[in-house]
Amino acid sequence: MDYDQQVEINVPFRRELIPLVVSCVEQSAQAFGLKREKSLPLALAAEEVFSFLITQAEEKENMNLICRFGSYYVEIIFKFASRAIPMRALNITATVSAEDEKSLEDMGLLLAARSVDYLRISSDEEGNTALHFIKEKEYPEITLEQNYSNSLIDASFQVVDGQPELLKQFAGRVVNTYGQDAPSFFHFPGKLVDMVASGEYGAALLVDGKSNIGGGLLWKLGSKMVEAYGPYLFHDQPTLAQNLIEGCLSKIARTKAVCLVIRQATSQAPQEYFERLGAKALYRQLAEDNGAVAFAHPSLISFLEEAYQDLFLPRQIQKVEYQGERISPYSAFATQIDREAHRVVLSILWVGGDATESLLEHIRVLKEEGLTNLFFELDGGVPEQAMLGPALLEAGFVPILVIPWGGRGDLLLFEHKKEEGL
């Protein structure tokens, strides 16, 4: 199957075309491998988004609907001319009041946002906004009755690319060896194979002459940051971890990526290739860093100055403050939830006047759901995000570390202090 497959239609904003949009999404999603119970929520989301946009759209305007096959997921993209849409409806904390007509109008978007696995908003230089809705495919969970132990190990392991059957073996061995510490996708070997096939992930595996897996490293390619998982090792031989890191680096050294990070590095990670960020994260740059501007609210400047000094990073900190200019009344936040680790990473999609209240509401709702480890990622390369500094501090978040080039610029990671902010 061609992993670049996508279906694209240009639809005028007309109510009678709603069935066309719904049908296109549903049929494409199924053709791209989603089961009916997964494609239906996506079709429902499409109906809600399109219906909502019709109420906002000017006459003779069109929307581009793109249904994209992402190997392990299906992505639906609604691309339209930028206009004020009620971004707050995309917050997971958004609630609808039956007495508030405006709020009811937004209910469809709220339902759409909650019916998918991931949601992202982007804009382009042509003045378009795009809503990306992602629904992942379903995969069978690993059965640990299978014997993943190696036999007749050949002493010499070579670093090879992740071929499907090797990846499945690798997933099994990671779950067997690392148990709860293994990221959840290792529990779904078929998903791991599709993740690598999508081109969004890469893998380096250690394989001996008898096709035994000695270890491996998985990484996700971002626009500037590559995020790796591992290295996972099943044998105690010197230099295996180094070989994996060098294998990964040789693949990504001449790409767009500028840094590599392992947020939860295993104890086998070779320290000499990395800089330490915080307690567990390892980091390295892939190219010479010759400086950048970091946008920051004055309340965070001293933290940043100290962090940049410690990291030997050349940065020019540019102060950003809200000075009464007109901004959207509402904010929108993206949430990435890892329920097993009770962990949530928040980031901002849209900075609005209600940022503090909205953040507090997010914290309340997330904690009610038992999600107690809350983090926030602020992109220092986006000036508007810097305005969020006071709201974050007021809501009980404290800055813990800087991930250079983790976003458009440096990512400032905050952690929520549990006793504060509520």
Partner 1 sequence: MFGKIPPLEKLVPSYIQNIEPYIPSKPDDVLKKMFGCSSLHRLNNNENALGPSPMALEAIRNFDPVKAAIYPSGDAYHLRYRLGQCFGHSPEAFLVGNGANEVIAFVIKAFCQEGDNIITADKTFAVYEWVAEFSGFEPRLIPLRDYGFDDQAMLQAIDQRTKIIFICNPNNPTGTYWNEEKLRAFLDQVDGKQIVVVDEAYAEFAEAEDFPNAMELIREYPNLVVFRTFSKMFALAALRIGYLVGDERIVEVIRRTCVVYSVNSLAQQAALASLEDAEEHTERTKKMVREAKEYLRHELTRLGLFHVIGEGNFIVIRLPMSDTLAYRKLMRQGIMVRAMTGFRFPNHIRVTLSHLPIMEEFIKALETIIPS
Residues found near partner 1 in the complex (CB under 8 A): 125-126, 245-246, 249-250, 253-256, 272-275, 284-291, 311-316
Cβ 396 to partner 1 shortest distance, Å: 33
* Contact partners, residue 281, CB within 8 Å, separation at least 6: 261, 262, 263, 264, 265, 401, 403
Cβ 250 to partner 1 shortest distance, Å: 5
Cβ 85 to partner 1 shortest distance, Å: 22
Cβ 300 to partner 1 shortest distance, Å: 20
How many alpha carbons lie under 13 Å from residue 126 in its C-beta half-sphere? 6
Q: In what order do the strands lie in the sheet with 6-12?
A: 6-12, 62-69, 73-81, 128-136, 118-123
Cβ 242 to partner 1 shortest distance, Å: 9
- H or E segment at 230? strand 225-233
Specify the residue for token string 């849209």. Answer: 350
Q: Shortest CA distance to 204 belongs to which of 248, 169, 170?
A: 248
Q: Which is nearer to partner 1, 55 or 250 (by Cβ)?
A: 250
Q: Which is nearer to partner 1, 79 or 88 (by Cβ)?
A: 79
Which token pair is 109? 């978007």
Dist CA 14 CA 108 (whole Å) = 17
Q: Which is nearer to partner 1, 37 or 288 (by Cβ)?
A: 288
Cβ 308 to partner 1 shortest distance, Å: 10
Cβ 230 to partner 1 shortest distance, Å: 16
Dist CA 403 CA 411 (whole Å) = 5
Q: Which is nearer to partner 1, 273 or 303 (by Cβ)?
A: 273
Q: In what order do the strands lie in the sheet with 397-403?
A: 332-338, 343-350, 373-379, 411-416, 397-403
DSSP 381: T
Dist CA 411 CA 281 (whole Å) = 13
Report helix, strand or coil for 258. Answer: coil
Q: Which is nearer to partner 1, 311 or 374 (by Cβ)?
A: 311
